[in-house]
Structure 1
Amino acid sequence: MTDVPDDVATAFDRHDALAADGDGYVVETTSFDGRVTATEGEDWRTDYEVTVRAPTLQAATEDEVGDAVADGWFETLERRLEDAPKATRTAVELDEYGVTEDGDEVVVTFRFSLGGERQAADVAKTFVEYVEGTYVEGIVPGYDYVGVVAELLDSASSGASEGSRGGTPL
């Protein structure tokens, strides 16, 4: 059962891309782990938190990634993800935004408030998809990628999924 407000739960339950999971919802349209939670905010607004977990560059490849490449990749990803609100059809002002590393994962967090539950569901989906798309666009050529990143690259270049791939389709 989710712990989100009832009106949000109704809108999110009806959304094709979202599925109830624990205390929130999981976004099912991406390969990365994207989740959204909601709590009652001020007045007629609801506060939302969208969290996306993706592998670090080192975790996504069999090869050793140097510190300069890994740091540059992370900093570039962080800067590019700041534009996520521009990808939505709803005017969204972020209350908080962060990109951190947690072991072998990059954790991206967007916090915002909205009054419309259906719009919030669309915004959450868009944020998660934006993170995945931006991540794939930022893949560094020349490495042998594994796991979910290899599957994304294979899918982008050929529609197939073998779980291991080198280079980038871009």
Structure 2
Amino acid sequence: MSDTDDSAVPGRVRRAVRDHDAVDDDPTDGAFPVTSTPFDGRIAVAQADDGRIEFDVTVAVPTLSAVVEGEVAEVVEDGWYETFERRIATIGDVTAAGHDLDPAVERSGEAVTVTESLRDLNEQRGLNDAVAVVDFVEGTYVQGVIPGYEYGEPVTGLISRARATGGSDGY
């Protein structure tokens, strides 16, 4: 993974980040926060040796039991995680540059972390593709919401936003 040090980020990348509406241009802990998701999505950026820009994407999402009001059986939690992991592996071609993506998924306690790296010569396209990975993780997470549970944030907000975007009143 690259280590985003603001002084090490090329000017063209800083401009692309500053102009992107889904990325905060103030790096936190060595990475630019993605603001279009309630999850902890971050993009670390570095100049690669071949002249390309490397974008290291990290998205942390809560486990099912972390967002459900009440208890979740271990078998349900494990099944939810395994399904999430399989869905993330089917990321396919969500990027404009057609990167060959193979995200890693790890569970630790009440968090699941998805990581992916991509390189691009074009800083704007690379940044857009990195944000597309974050958006894919968010969408995949929402697909995994299991009916019948009472959820807290951020799931209730994500579902409300999806309904509003889709024009559904929830019926």
Range class of TM-score, shorter chain = 0.7 to 0.9
**Does the CA-based 8 Å contact 1:99-1:107 persist in structure 2?**
yes
Q: Distance in 1 between matches of 2:12 and 2:40?
A: 24
1:104 is aligned to 110
From 80, 83, 87, give the equivalent of 2:90. Answer: 83
From 61, 70, 87, give the equivalent of 1:63. Answer: 70
Other structure's SS at 1:112 match: strand
The percentage of aligned residue pairs carrying the same residue is 36
Other structure's SS at 2:151 match: strand
**Does the CA-based 8 Å contact 1:5-1:38 persist in structure 2?**
no
| One-letter code aligned to 2:31 | G
Q: Distance in 1 between matches of 2:22 and 2:63?
A: 25
**Does the CA-based 8 Å contact 2:88-2:103 persist in structure 1?**
no
2:22 is aligned to 17
User: Over aligned residues, Cα RMSD in angstroms?
Assistant: 2.0
Q: Tell me which moved more, 48-57 or 147-156.
A: 147-156
Which structure 1 residue ranges, 4+ long, deviate > 6 Å from structure 2?
Answer: none
Other structure's SS at 1:125 match: helix
1:119 is aligned to 125
Q: Distance in 2 between matches of 1:106 and 1:44?
A: 32
Other structure's SS at 2:66 match: coil
1:34 is aligned to 41
TM-superposed CA distance for 1:158, in Å, is: 5.5
What is the TM-score normalised by the length of structure 1? Answer: 0.84
Q: Distance in 2 between matches of 1:71 and 1:123?
A: 30
| One-letter code aligned to 1:38 | V
1:5 is aligned to 10
TM-superposed CA distance for 1:27, in Å, is: 1.2
Other structure's SS at 1:63 match: coil
1:165 is aligned to none
Which segments of 5 or more consecutive residues in structure 2 lack a partner in the other structure? none
Q: Kindly provide the CA deviation profile for residues 101-151 of structure 1, in whole angstroms up to 9, marking residues without a partner as x.
A: 232211111112221100111111111111111100111111110121122
What is the TM-score normalised by the length of structure 2? Answer: 0.84
Q: Distance in 2 between matches of 1:129 and 1:97?
A: 13
Q: Distance in 2 between matches of 1:25 and 1:91?
A: 23
**Does the CA-based 8 Å contact 2:61-2:112 persist in structure 1?**
yes
| One-letter code aligned to 1:18 | V
Aligned length: 160
